[in-house]
Structure 1
Amino acid sequence: MALYARRTQGNQLLASEDLLETCFHPIVLLNISCGIEDIFYGSSQCSKLSLATVKEEESYRIASGKCSRNNFVSAVTFQEACANCTSAILDLKETLLNRSEVGDKKNNTERSICAVAAVVSVAAGQSDESGGLAMIDSFNRCLPAALDHDDDFIKIRYYVVKALLAILIAIGMLVFIIVVIKNVTKKKPLKPAKSQVITAWSGLYRFSKAEIEYAMDLDDHHGKVFLGRGSAGNVYKGILPSGQAVAIKHINKSNDYDSFKKEVEGLSRIRHQNLVSLVGFCVEDGEQYLVYEFCPAGNLAQHLLRKDTVLTWETRVRILRDCALALRYLHRYIDGCIVHRDIKLTNILLTEKMEPKLSDFGLAKMLGIEETKVFTDVRGTIGYMDPEYMSNAKLTCASDIYSFGIVALQLLSGQKAVELDLDARDQLTRKAKDVNMGKRPVSDFEDQTLKGNFNKADFQSILQVAVLCVSNTSIGRPNIGVVFDELDKIWKNTFSYKAKQGMSASAMSVSGSLEMISV
């Protein structure tokens, strides 16, 4: 609805009844009532408002600011951002009730539709569509905590969840119809797909085994395209009937179904621009598959190993900064800290724009809100594992910090080992600590392929952060908030430094041209 309001340039906040029926025709066929049919243009006083009209209100401006992506990122805690956003939404809802001149302000239907209108207008008014989607995601994650404080949030959640459920069911049915039509026209026979959306909260597509096999059968039946090996199985490239490229992980049969189900449920709830998204899954005939978004540039280890191209200093700093941002999201997740447990070069995938995305959550573990540590089986990749975790099986958020520090040292030094062993790890950390303490020159640690094309001060700042991250005890390591803040400052400084270099080069060019003219 937010996208509709945005793209109609403010003429209508909610879609018309006819358009709504068209969009959710598959739901009508299934005789399912989700409540979404009550939220259309003209169904109530608030539903007649336009986005342009709502934007005139001061309470809209306040809500738009407090619910923006920047507010959620800059807030000290997620709970603080939630409180500010939800309070502003409620104020806007009351404003819309008054503006619409609703006679009975205690009417539950009117109040609920005004609440939905408030959420839709704030999402539609964000600076871009991705910002609006991010706002909806953040706001929806705020709702569980808000339910304990205000009855109006129950109404907001009731209608928002119903709207999302209806959208997901509609998408599932439409994709099912498209897949069936395409498969009927193909020469290759397929079993009837049993595709469905697994649950209202997950939003995941359930693939049939036939669809999975068809997606992986590339290049005119010449076989599968192997991408890599994850913690729970091999990963292959796949192409969906829509033409979308995906990565399909075939889970090892040694993995039990409960752990597979836990991973699916966990991944379905987390969404971040620097985390690989889970598209769907398949469980059929004893086989288990996970379907992820595809990152065409491969993983970070492959780029450090390449000889034909070199990762620029700016790219390395941005990768570290964005990975820290993803870890901050996981460690500050509303239900408790999510420990990835397997941060390493090969689990950092890159998009075509060289933007990093953390992948492979097969070992991820969630600590409850009241838990700071948990004792569990020691699992992970040897060279990146927290020594404290390895010795006493005590898993904390600081375990990820250690692994992240190793990755940072590898990016600084250009360490070419894809998988570090303990000796290589110890040599790497020992050398880094010596350089940081001034016992060895920086040139002993820097990646020679950079040929000195980096800011020395920023290099030493990242080295200092990384050395703190690889402290042998968790007490000596900074939390992810501190790590991100430092890397964000370094990234901004790097960006500014690059801009100044470009201006200096332009000035020299102009100066040279003037000299030639004077001669």
Structure 2
Amino acid sequence: MLYSLNTTMPKRPNLLFVMCLLIMITAVEKFAVSESLTADCSLHFEPSASDNTACEGGDWGGFLQKNCCGSSFQIYLYALGLRTNQTGRLFLNSSEQSSCLTSLKTFEADVFSCGIEKLTSGAGDCSDYSVGDVIHHLGEELKSFGEHCNFPGSGEQWNQTCSSCVRSWRAIGEAYSTASDGLSLQNEADICRFAVMLSLTSSRIEDENYVQNVYKCLAEQESYSERINSRFSLCSAENRVSRNNRKKKLDAGFWILIGGILATIIVTALFILFKRFYKSKPPSTRPALFKDVQLKDPGCPKFPIKEVYSATQNLNELNLIGEGTAGKVYKGVLSSNRHVAIKHIINDGNVETFVREVASLSHVRHPNLVALLGYCLTVDEGFLIYELCPNGNLSKWIFRKDKTLSWIQRLEIAIDSARGLWFLHTYSEGCIVHRDIKPTNILLGPNFEAKLSDFGLSKVIDLGESQVSSEVRGTFGYVDPEYQSNCQVNSSGDVYSFGIVLLQILSGKKVINMNLKRPMPLNKVAKVLTRGGNIIEFADPKLNGMYSAEAFDVTLQLALSCTALKHQRPSMEQVVLTLEKALHISTTAKESTPETSTEHFYTPERQVLKTEI
């Protein structure tokens, strides 16, 4: 969390009231049984049938932050597997996760320091997968994992199977070794591993012996050979037996009643305390960056700070979906139940960005532009509230090994993006130049419709003018070389940037090829590779040859013309028309081709093979 929610207390707080409150909270934690704590938890926890004691459950190769959490973690995983078997869903959302971990304190008092909360949905990628998604995106890994984790009874063969199972488990994370974002690669890989493991064990959840074998192997993967001679911890075992004996002596109904009464008292007391002392946000030591900001005629509503903090659960890190130079971006849910993305701006260098987006671009609306729904402004921070695009940005779909876009999807995304730029360049009140077109600024909606985002560097050219002078701004590799030399902002700069993005959509390559002895820009790489008329080397291998060669060539030539000299570049209207032509060629070829034939829908490689035959 970026910062916690503080309260301002009176100078003379009621000490007796606070002491009573602490006593009641302690009483509930000590005596209330799990039934009084699991109202919002869909998992049913039962003591594990395995022989692991509290501190002998393993740390799952370092995933758990405490070794003593292993036993309770296996209880958690088994309950989660039962839920997955019934619903097909893998991980809990943040609120339900918190409730279930509270319930799990029955088995491990310090469960919140174990690291289990990392397996929470909402962080994107594998954290939001269902079993169906795992089968679709990680099917090969799931199949391999199941084959290598087919445990026999016991003995040396069991050890060999466990070693093979661990190797398969670790291999699941290899797809993330080249990820370029700022998220933790290890955590991302671990979440995908657990998604695969849950998908497998949930399908065999009735075979508890098999499931426990998988847990035991993976939990002890780092330390199994060192623990052969210390299977049981007598002290922990005696403590567990003693605890179970005490539980049997308690009258469960009586303590549920007592826990309910105390909980009601505590909730009432906290509500009163909340009403008396709560303020919308903590006192800030940040400079008053936005103190002198005046917004004239904004085209979107202003939201109260309480709404922003409530929507993001007080800027909870679990809701973080992105981070850039302007600040962090969180997903959230407004009181109207609308899902949004909220950018938090606290850097003094981005005050101008905030003002530009609210004052100018909030009036601009188009299906292929991310809509600015509102803003929030205080003296020391600002928030921009956008529509949420659940499929993230184009960059991860191009460069991530586990993400795939079909040829048709790529053309449709390119057309949507081009339409958004065409609209900006022909806006009725003056040409709007984006100045930062790149894959991370192209977001994808629920149906993969593309929307341009991040207008913080945009410039408006007045009607009757063709360009305006400005300092060079943008992202390395996407900035028009002519703009870099003359500092003249015009729409052709966006055309150049779009051409680079279009080359990346075709090839899946980074903007600068650093693998060559002499690094080369992508447009020059494209010219070199296609000079002999062979487009195979430039096409993205993830396309698996499934594209129309004619349409690919039309799109490639368009991209190269966009990156040519300024006077040779097409307008965005011409770009849209050419891309629509390529889409028509592709869909026509695909529709007229039988499933068993490649007569019209082929790559040049396939054409050569047919000629040789």
The TM-score with structure 1 as length reference comes to 0.56
Indicate yes or no: 2:303 matched with 1:207. Answer: yes
CA distance in 2, matches of 1:230, 1:424: 29
Q: State the shift of 1:252 in Å.
A: 3.5
Indicate yes or no: 2:582 matched with 1:490. Answer: yes
Q: Which has the larger radius of gyration?
A: 2
Q: State the shift of 1:431 in Å.
A: 2.0
* Number of equivalent positions: 316
- Equivalent in the alignment of 1:346: 440
CA distance in 2, matches of 1:199, 1:255: 18
Q: In structure 2, which of residues 375, 395, 410 is the aligned counterpart of residue 301 of structure 1? A: 395
The 1:423–1:322 alpha-carbon spacing in structure 2 relative to 1, beyond 3 Å, is: farther
The 1:421–1:391 alpha-carbon spacing in structure 2 relative to 1, beyond 3 Å, is: farther
Indicate yes or no: 2:535 matched with 1:452. Answer: no
What secondary structure does 2:331 align onto?
Answer: strand
More helix by share: 1
Q: Pairwise mapping of residues 26-41 of structure 1 onto structure 2 (< 5 A)?
A: none
The 1:413–1:187 alpha-carbon spacing in structure 2 relative to 1, beyond 3 Å, is: farther
Measured against aligned partners, the alpha-carbon deviations of 1:22-47 in whole angstroms (never above 9, x if no partner) come to: xxxxxxxxxxxxxxxxxxxxxxxxxx
Which deviates more, 356-365 or 225-234?
225-234
Q: In structure 1, which of residues 271, 276, 285 is the aligned counterpart of residue 379 of structure 2? A: 285
Q: Pairwise mapping of residues 35-434 of structure 1 onto structure 2 (< 5 A)?
A: 202-217=298-313, 223-255=317-349, 257-416=351-510, 426-434=520-528
Indicate yes or no: 2:557 matched with 1:464. Answer: yes
CA distance in 2, matches of 1:229, 1:356: 20
Q: State the shift of 1:490 in Å.
A: 1.3
CA distance in 1, matches of 2:537, 2:460: 39
CA distance in 2, matches of 1:188, 1:481: 57
What secondary structure does 2:374 align onto?
Answer: strand
What secondary structure does 2:340 align onto?
Answer: strand
Indicate yes or no: 2:569 matched with 1:477. Answer: yes
The 1:200–1:381 alpha-carbon spacing in structure 2 relative to 1, beyond 3 Å, is: closer
Q: State the shift of 1:232 in Å.
A: 2.4
Displacement over 4 Å in runs of 4+: 184-193, 198-203, 256-259, 416-425, 502-505
CA distance in 1, matches of 2:343, 2:496: 27
Contact 1:345 1:418 (8 Å CA) reproduced: no
Contact 2:471 2:487 (8 Å CA) reproduced: yes
Q: In structure 1, which of residues 405, 428, 439 is the aligned counterpart of residue 532 of structure 2? A: 439
Q: State the shift of 1:426 in Å.
A: 3.6
Letter in 1 for 2:534: P
Q: What 5-or-longer segments of structure 2 have no aligned partner?
A: 1-269, 282-293, 598-613
CA distance in 2, matches of 1:495, 1:478: 24
The 1:477–1:426 alpha-carbon spacing in structure 2 relative to 1, beyond 3 Å, is: farther
The 1:427–1:379 alpha-carbon spacing in structure 2 relative to 1, beyond 3 Å, is: closer
The 1:231–1:377 alpha-carbon spacing in structure 2 relative to 1, beyond 3 Å, is: farther
CA distance in 2, matches of 1:186, 1:482: 64
The 1:274–1:287 alpha-carbon spacing in structure 2 relative to 1, beyond 3 Å, is: same
The 1:446–1:309 alpha-carbon spacing in structure 2 relative to 1, beyond 3 Å, is: same
For the aligned residues, what is the CA RMSD? 3.3
- Equivalent in the alignment of 1:170: none
The TM-score with structure 2 as length reference comes to 0.48
Q: State the shift of 1:488 in Å.
A: 1.4
Q: Between the two structures, name the one with larger relative contact order (CA 8 Å, sep ≥ 6).
A: 2
- Percent identical residues: 40
Letter in 2 for 1:208: P
The 1:300–1:270 alpha-carbon spacing in structure 2 relative to 1, beyond 3 Å, is: same
Measured against aligned partners, the alpha-carbon deviations of 1:384-414 in whole angstroms (never above 9, x if no partner) come to: 1111111221111000000000000001111
Contact 2:398 2:405 (8 Å CA) reproduced: yes
Letter in 1 for 2:592: K
